[in-house]
Amino acid sequence: PGSEVTQLIEQYDRASAARSPSEANQEAIFGQAVCSIFQNSRAGAPPVYVFYPLREGPEQAPFGFAGMALDQSFIEREFLPGLISESPGGANRGPDSELTLAVLDENNKRVYSNNDARNSYEVKTAFAPVFTKWQLAAGYGGTTIEALASDNFRKSLILTFSVLLVLMLGIGLILRATAREMRLAETKSAFVANVSHELKTPLALIRLFAETLELGRVESEQKAEEDYRIISNESRRLTQLIDNLLDFSKTEAGRKEYHFVEASLAQIVEDVLKTYRYQLVSSGFELSLEVERGLPPASVDRDALSQALLNLLDNAVKYSGEEKKIAVRVQQRGPDIALEVADRGIGIPRSEHRKIFEKFYRVGTGLVHNTKGSGLGLAVVKHIVEAHGGHVLVESRPGSGSRFTLLIPALKPLIECQKADTRIRE
Ligand code: ADP
């Protein structure tokens, strides 16, 4: 036999010996040569053989074989592309495709791939039984399973944290709303208790002194005068409290009306102090009033502004300790007229400066003060001043007194207005 036949027989023997037990029942035997014995379209490409052992009976040993060599260029150019593009995921092409399928030869070179950019694979398996020396490889386009897994992990981590954040935010909001509701409920019930007390005390005093006077049990003219003064003071306090309550409810319902007129702020202050001074002085207070000369008028609601001033004076009295001094000052400050009420009382901590203007709010009772009140006084003051286009300032430190300043915009003098008017016309 010629050398080609010898080589074929060798090839057949090698292929039958290399058969795995699982392939023992197959009729055909496949073999892939390392080097070519035939002239082939792909120079030097080893052919693939299919051998059919020839036997006389099913259990007989083969006495020879018939076979054929497969054309590799056909396999590479037509058979594999067709096979892979029909397989699931194999139809994807290009560098972005999800799944890359490739066939590698015995030197790990690509025989065929559906993705040109790919060069590392996740799994490889023998392309048996036909191409025993080749491998079928698969991987994910442009990425590895590890990268894909860590990417997925990162995405789900971000999602989990976002959900957690939203959840925590929700819980935070609910807790805040609940705390606010509780605080409001507490302040409301404290308000009811305080207002009842505020209403009852002056009424009880008025009744007591009126009865004493009625029964003529007063020892001296001076004592009678004192009793009348108490009755007048207490009824004034009652009126002020009721005014505040009515004002507050009107403001809350949006029904509060103001009647603005051009007036002198200094005059309003002097009028209020005229009626209030006697009571202050007889309760042991030293009251000073300082008014700057030639102040411009302002557009004000007299009653509302008097009420705001009375609330400030009332607080100055209520929250003064041993040092009973109240200083009222009216002066120009920039475009505004500043109305100051200063006392030397218990003062207010910095952290409370904003809250004291909230409705029902009272600085913590007990250690700070035991004075009763509705917690509406400053809320009403703030509303009145803001309705005038102004604002309220507070300067205060615990132990060194407080100064409340109402800033009300002044009206421009007529001459100045005319000047401005002509300038605009020019
Ligand atoms: P009330 O005096 O009825 O409690 P306000 O709204 O007038 O209500 O005042 C709110 C809180 O501000 C008071 O409870 C008090 O603690 C504090 N406060 C107001 N004015 C003064 C002041 N002149 N000195 C010290 N504390 C004050």
Q: Are 38 and 72 in contact (CB under 8 A)?
A: no
Instruction: Give me the count of residues in the chain.
Output: 426
Helix (H, G, I), strand (E, B) or coil at 118: coil
**Of 167 and 241, the one with more pLDDT:** 167
3-state helix, strand, coil in the chain (%, to 5): 45, 20, 35
d(CA 47, CA 68): 10
Per-residue confidence band for 299, with pLDDT thresholds at 50, 70 and 90: very high
d(CA 47, CA 72): 6
Q: Is 362 in the pocket of ligand 1 (CB under 6 A)?
A: yes
d(CA 35, CA 45): 7
Q: Is 231 in the pocket of ligand 1 (CB under 6 A)?
A: no
Atom 20 in ligand 1: residue holding the nearest Cα:
315
Q: How far is the CA of 327 from the centre of ligand 1 (A)?
A: 17
pLDDT at 190 > cutoff 90: no
- Which residues, in sequence order, are CB contacts of 421 under 8 Å at separation 6+? none
At residue 95, the pLDDT reads 47
Q: Which atom of ligand 1 is nearest to the CA of 369?
A: 16
pLDDT at 116 > cutoff 80: no
Q: Which atom of ligand 1 is nearest to the CA of 194?
A: 3
Atom 16 in ligand 1: residue holding the nearest Cα:
363
Nearest to 260 by CA among 298, 311, 307: 298
Q: Is 308 in the pocket of ligand 1 (CB under 6 A)?
A: no
Helix (H, G, I), strand (E, B) or coil at 296: coil
At residue 273, the pLDDT reads 94
Q: Which two tokens stand for residue 157?
A: 């981590």
**What digits encode the pLDDT tens for the residues 81-110?**
887 777 665 555 544 456 778 888 777 888
Strands 29-32, 48-54: pairing kind = antiparallel
pTM (two decimals): 0.59
| Residue in the block written with tokens 């040109």 | 116
Give the chain's mean pLDDT. Answer: 84
For 373, other C-beta atoms within 10 Å of its C-beta total: 22
Q: What is the DSSP string of 382-415?
A: HHHHHHTT-EEEEEE-TTS-EEEEEEEEBPPPHH
pLDDT at 168 > cutoff 80: yes
Tell me what the mean pLDDT of segment 328-338 comes to.
Answer: 96
Terminal CA-CA length for the chain: 126
At residue 415, the pLDDT reads 58
**What digits encode the pLDDT tens for the residues 24-68?**
777 788 777 766 555 444 455 667 788 888 888 877 888 888 888
At residue 406, the pLDDT reads 98
Tell me what the mean pLDDT of segment 359-387 comes to.
Answer: 81
Q: Which helix (H) or strand (E) element contains residue 332? A: strand 325-333
Strands 286-291, 325-333: pairing kind = parallel
At residue 86, the pLDDT reads 75
Ligand 1 binding pocket mutation candidate from 196, 307, 315 (most atoms within 8 A of CB) = 315
At residue 40, the pLDDT reads 46
**Of 22 and 189, the one with more pLDDT:** 189
At residue 62, the pLDDT reads 84
pLDDT at 137 > cutoff 80: yes
Lowest mean pLDDT among 12-21, 114-123, 417-426: 417-426
Q: How far is the CA of 194 from the centre of ligand 1 (A)?
A: 13
For 189, other C-beta atoms within 10 Å of its C-beta total: 11
**What digits encode the pLDDT tens for the residues 381-403?**
999 999 999 999 999 999 899 99
State the amino acid at position 57 in one-letter form. Answer: G
d(CA 380, CA 244): 7
Ligand 1 binding pocket mutation candidate from 355, 356, 357, 374 (most atoms within 8 A of CB) = 356
Per-residue confidence band for 115, with pLDDT thresholds at 50, 70 and 90: confident
**What digits encode the pLDDT tens for the residues 229-248?**
889 988 988 998 899 889 88
pLDDT at 9 > cutoff 90: no
Q: Is 315 in the pocket of ligand 1 (CB under 6 A)?
A: yes
**Of 167 and 76, the one with more pLDDT:** 167
At residue 142, the pLDDT reads 65
Helix (H, G, I), strand (E, B) or coil at 48: strand
d(CA 56, CA 63): 8
**What single DSSP character describes residue 369?**
B
